[in-house]
Structure 1
Amino acid sequence: MKPIYWLAGLALSCGLQAAQAQSKPQTFTRADTLRGSITPQRAWWDAQHYAISVQPDFETKSLKGSNTIGYKVLDEKGAAEMQIDLQTPLHIDSAVLNGKQKLRFRNDGNAWFIAMPQQKKGATNKLTVFYSGTPREAVRAPWDGGWTFTKDSLNRPWMTVTCQGLGASVWYPCKDHQSDEPDRGATLTMIVHDTLMAVGNGRLKQQQKLPGKLASFTWEVTNPINNYNIIPYIGKYVSFKEVYPGEKGKLDVTYWVLDYNLPKAKSYLKPEVHNTLKAFEHWFGPYPFYEDGYQLIDVPHTGMEHQSAVAYGNHYKPGYRGRDGSGTGWGMKWDFIVIHESGHEWFGNNITTRDLADMWVHEGFTNYSETLFVDHIFGVQAGNEYNRGTRQGIRNDKPIIPPYGVNAQGSGDMYPKGGNMLHAIRHSMANDVLFRDILRGLNKTFYHQTVSSKQVEEYISKRAGFDYTKVFDQYLRTTQIPKLEFYVSGNGQKLIYRWTNCVAGFNLPISMQNATVSMRIEPTTGWKTSELKAGAEALFTKEAIEKMYYIVAEPSEGKTALR
């Protein structure tokens, strides 16, 4: 998702990086629980496949369509009703089981409950839900979700959807919870005016002319896919293709652009995409969706991470709409949208969190993918500088992880603070081979799976051979910036140090090095002492430490520290 911290960060002074007063506790409603939890009407069935068909009307800004949901019965108990999500003002017109039996239904806000006949555990069935109406429009896509009905610069229709956070049920009926992806993928059929091209996720499987100057385009994804990633793109698209020699073999890469963008797209996009795939396959492992290919698609908004169909709207220029969120200059040497949104193919699309509360796994890792990209293409120092620069967007307004089960999103700090936390963990290891193995291991171990933050945290600690539990607690569950108090003994031979302003048991190691010497310390909340190696005193300065870690480093006078 587009990092909203950039807009906020550009308007904030550096002083706002300090912890701010907590906002008032949010009140959650029944609708929040129905949307964000595994209700009994959701628990008994598992989504296997979606076959979505949609026909938008550009003039009336309305649509009609259907979704045939292939599902498996997990438990006969509780199967009297099935919860299907569809947000108003869209409405369900009818529901048909296995193409034969028309079912009754009721609704409770955006949740619809379909009365089911007796279900048999282990059985697989198909429920077709027909729907229609005037969908919610996105006022400020992609930050505000919904349909976008707009026109390109030649005054021709241009339509798409953005729905992360808000939910895919803003435009089609589904089990709108991140924990249940259709295991066998999805198809998306778009029926549009025959002068337009409709693009979707994966590969184009069928295209045909229809009566009334209409045409249909059916796209297919064979891999599991999270709901908010299934997206229609409709406009005057043309394409060009290539085969990228990736780590896993030949990767089909397709660029869908508005016809008048074709010349500049050919010269501009290929180098950006090649560098992106090169860097991310190095750090994260093979691109996770070789079967479905990789696509980059023109959109009227800034961009989004839609699986195998990445939305691009950065005007074919470096930076993020002409800006560098890090303020270092490094962000103007590459296209932010190509890199960031493609990074989500690994974190967000390959590895998806079950609950929206754990979205830092999507956004923190993908924010950090920017640093890793800069590191891989421009060098380690450039990556360090870029990462530190992104701190200007950290607000510490509220914890990154909010309450579970109510479809709540935490602070926008999940982007830059999450990325800086991962950079701190990397530096604390002082072993990039191990750190890279952990990133690649995450994508291999949780390949095409939904996970919790806890699983990711435990995996990193186990592979690192160090318990980072309190480090995750500090950065994800509080707004405190940890403070390292330290001083060098009078004879210059010892370093004395401790953590303050932190959770109990906070234990982030500090590894420092230069061209001649390196040293690692493991501070706790009690004073500790380490012998200084020859020349190591120069490593432990406020400036040097804060350059590498998102902490406050505070030199203390010995007599004060010893009290």
Structure 2
Amino acid sequence: MKNTAIVFFLVLLTQVSFGQDWDWGGPVDPLQKKLNIRHYKLEIEFFPETQSILGSNIITFSSEEKLDTLRLNLIDGYQVERVTMGGKDVEFQHQNDLLDIIPIDCTCDQVQVFYGGKTPIAPNPPWEGGFTWEKDQLDNHWMGLSSQGEGSQIFMPGLDHPSSEPSEGVDLLLTAPKPYFVASNGHLLETTETEDKISYHWATDYPINVYNINFTMGIFTEESLEFQSVSGEIVPMHVWVLQENRAKAAELLELLKVSTETHEKYFGAFPFPKDKISVVETPYLGMEHQTINAYGNNFQFVPMGDTQYDWLLHHELGHEWFGNKISVADFADMWIHEGLTAYGDFLFYWEHGGPDAYFAKVKGNYKYILHAKPVVSAPNSTEGESYHGEIYSKGAMVIHSLRGILGDEVFFPMIKAFANDERFTYQNKVSTKDFTDFVQTYTGQNLEGFFGLYLYTTELPKLKVAKKGKSSYAISLQGIDFSMPVEIETSDGLVKMNLGPKPTQVNSTIPPLVDPNGWIMMAR
């Protein structure tokens, strides 16, 4: 990062006012529709004593038409010092958390923004994000960033929309006072030192969602190994924990290895083998930052079969497949990120705890579903409009129900095929319709009624069981216009029958128990 005038920097340190009501997503800004981001080169220097940053970002872009205005996002709490194109200063306007740049008349495909100031402080990370500046038990500075609800506008100028990911990745040149380490996305290319500073150059060539661009500063203990992926590739695996927790580092690394192996079994090879698999201890609970997941669960490991389980570690790692490799362009479809990842949590129970642990987990999850909001939000939703608990809990139950309807021999190959379909991965985006069309095409089954009910409404079918004679029962699901296969425990054992609004006759000398394993969401 280039040095700037000391007067400018002193002015930045006086910036203390932030609105803290940021949201992102929604309809794409008409000016930003014209802009395709290819690469970010982000340079930031951290000043922990003043909780400030000084930065620049080189944005490489393309457009199919001549642009009169380049519109980027950056919160007003930062001061923009200057903007250059082709080595020349250009005009800009920075207000209402927007940075409008007037390009010079050239063939430039890059713009560089110099900015800085006091960082916004996270009120309740990661749900209400920002920077978290703390001290560890040894009185060392410890900084983490969370921005899922706010976007990258709270730490860098860029195009803040879920549909926009830099197609050629990002370079991050991050400078901290000695002896601090800064963990970030991708792989570490270079470390350089001066008398009192250390700079770390991280880079990834993979597309990356802008809220997943991340960094954590502290003094850490590192444990690492070489992970053998099912793809045949060897992927570096790292954990960084605070020095006071060094005794936990090796065990955390082992859990990361087991969680990765479990995800790979069901969803395919780790998506970013050229970079790394890693977690860093953060001063907040956690977040799915691509190849550098935030971990703040205080090493709350619980026994699961022959191994240990950390729900936070496993869940955030699952986002490497659903959220990072597979991403949505419209937050209306955010359940694909959270619901499929939450179902991956269920599968850890299945793989290591067995069926009893799996079904107990499912039933425990189901109790917290209020059916208050549809899983899929209205088109062009913002993050704030689409983010609620049911995209996790009910989203996972939708996938669980699919497993019950399709059977394991169809379901598991199908879900792995979806996670590895090139139409939906990396630079390509996915929608709910993409997912439902894929499932129906892959399975050859018409599931429109099922998806329409559980993803787009809050309604549930009503179970009705009526006794007919000594050993016959009429069973139906009222309030729907389709049928689906449901397990029924009878005197002859467990059978699977299609249930819908029309009563189905079931013979049993004992009262039948409908859906004893809880595959289907219904009012009983």
| TM-score of the two chains, using structure 2 as the length reference | 0.88
CA distance in structure 2 between the partners assigned to 1:87 and 1:32 by the alignment: 8
Q: Does 1:134 align with 2:111?
A: no
**Match 2:281 to one of 292, 298, 321:** 298
Contact 2:221 2:249 in 1 (8 A): no
**Match 2:495 to one of 519, 526, 544:** 519
How far has the Cα of 1:406 moved from its partner? 4.4
How far has the Cα of 1:44 moved from its partner? 1.3
CA distance in structure 2 between the partners assigned to 1:546 and 1:385 by the alignment: 9
Indicate the residue corresponding to 2:260 in structure 1: 277
Q: Which amino acid aligns with 1:396?
A: H
Percent identity among equivalent residues?
A: 27
CA distance in structure 1 between the partners assigned to 2:24 and 2:139 by the alignment: 41
How has the CA–CA distance of structure 1 residues 245 and 546 changed in structure 2, closer, same or farther, with 3 Å as cutoff? Answer: closer
1:196-215 superposed matches below 5 A: 196-210=180-194, 213-215=196-198
3-state SS of the aligned residue for 1:376?
Answer: helix
Indicate the residue corresponding to 1:541 in structure 2: 513
CA distance in structure 2 between the partners assigned to 1:84 and 1:128 by the alignment: 12
CA distance in structure 2 between the partners assigned to 1:551 and 1:245 by the alignment: 42
Indicate the residue corresponding to 1:41 in structure 2: 31
**Match 1:339 to one of 314, 319, 326:** 314
Give unpaired runs (5+ residues) of structure 2: 1-20
How far has the Cα of 1:308 moved from its partner? 0.5
Q: Does 1:104 align with 2:82?
A: no
1:25-174 superposed matches below 5 A: 35-73=25-63, 75-76=64-65, 79-98=67-86, 100-117=87-104, 125-174=109-158
How far has the Cα of 1:137 moved from its partner? 0.6
Q: Which amino acid aligns with 1:96?
A: T
Q: Deviations over 1:57-97 (max 9, x none)?
A: 11211211011111122x206x2112101123123322222
Indicate the residue corresponding to 1:313 in structure 2: 296
How has the CA–CA distance of structure 1 residues 513 and 104 changed in structure 2, closer, same or farther, with 3 Å as cutoff? Answer: farther
Indicate the residue corresponding to 2:215 in structure 1: 232
Contact 2:235 2:277 in 1 (8 A): yes
Q: Deviations over 1:106-125 (max 9, x none)?
A: 244112221224577xxx71
How has the CA–CA distance of structure 1 residues 515 and 301 changed in structure 2, closer, same or farther, with 3 Å as cutoff? Answer: farther
How has the CA–CA distance of structure 1 residues 551 and 119 changed in structure 2, closer, same or farther, with 3 Å as cutoff? Answer: farther
CA distance in structure 1 between the partners assigned to 2:80 and 2:386 by the alignment: 28
3-state SS of the aligned residue for 2:163?
Answer: coil
Contact 1:521 1:530 in 2 (8 A): no
Contact 2:69 2:101 in 1 (8 A): yes
**Match 1:466 to one of 427, 438, 445:** 445
3-state SS of the aligned residue for 1:48?
Answer: strand
How has the CA–CA distance of structure 1 residues 450 and 307 changed in structure 2, closer, same or farther, with 3 Å as cutoff? Answer: same
How far has the Cα of 1:380 moved from its partner? 2.2
3-state SS of the aligned residue for 1:142?
Answer: coil
Indicate the residue corresponding to 1:420 in structure 2: 397
Contact 1:34 1:111 in 2 (8 A): no
3-state SS of the aligned residue for 1:547?
Answer: coil
How far has the Cα of 1:369 moved from its partner? 0.8
Contact 2:281 2:294 in 1 (8 A): yes
How far has the Cα of 1:205 moved from its partner? 0.7
Contact 2:490 2:513 in 1 (8 A): no
Q: Which amino acid aligns with 1:51?
A: K
Q: Deviations over 1:116-162 (max 9, x none)?
A: 24577xxx711111111222110121111001111111111001100
How has the CA–CA distance of structure 1 residues 334 and 513 changed in structure 2, closer, same or farther, with 3 Å as cutoff? Answer: farther
CA distance in structure 1 between the partners assigned to 2:317 and 2:25 by the alignment: 28
**Match 2:165 to one of 176, 181, 203:** 181
How has the CA–CA distance of structure 1 residues 486 and 515 changed in structure 2, closer, same or farther, with 3 Å as cutoff? Answer: closer
CA distance in structure 2 between the partners assigned to 1:538 and 1:428 by the alignment: 25
3-state SS of the aligned residue for 2:309?
Answer: coil
CA distance in structure 2 between the partners assigned to 1:372 and 1:177 by the alignment: 31
How far has the Cα of 1:358 moved from its partner? 1.3
CA distance in structure 2 between the partners assigned to 1:83 and 1:506 by the alignment: 48
**Match 2:416 to one of 428, 440, 462:** 440
Q: How many residues align?
A: 497
How has the CA–CA distance of structure 1 residues 186 and 513 changed in structure 2, closer, same or farther, with 3 Å as cutoff? Answer: farther
**Match 1:376 to one of 334, 346, 351:** 351
How has the CA–CA distance of structure 1 residues 113 and 310 changed in structure 2, closer, same or farther, with 3 Å as cutoff? Answer: same
How has the CA–CA distance of structure 1 residues 298 and 515 changed in structure 2, closer, same or farther, with 3 Å as cutoff? Answer: farther
Q: Which amino acid aligns with 2:454?
A: Y
3-state SS of the aligned residue for 2:227?
Answer: strand
**Match 1:483 to one of 454, 462, 465:** 462
How far has the Cα of 1:394 moved from its partner? 1.7
Contact 2:39 2:59 in 1 (8 A): yes
Q: Which amino acid aligns with 1:458?
A: D
3-state SS of the aligned residue for 1:159?
Answer: strand
How has the CA–CA distance of structure 1 residues 418 and 231 changed in structure 2, closer, same or farther, with 3 Å as cutoff? Answer: same
Q: Which amino acid aligns with 2:342?
A: N
Q: Deviations over 1:424-453 (max 9, x none)?
A: 111011x21211111111111122132112
**Match 2:227 to one of 236, 244, 250:** 244
CA distance in structure 1 between the partners assigned to 2:288 and 2:361 by the alignment: 22
How has the CA–CA distance of structure 1 residues 410 and 475 changed in structure 2, closer, same or farther, with 3 Å as cutoff? Answer: farther
How far has the Cα of 1:277 moved from its partner? 1.4
| TM-score of the two chains, using structure 1 as the length reference | 0.83
Segment drifting more, 230-239 vs 110-119: 110-119
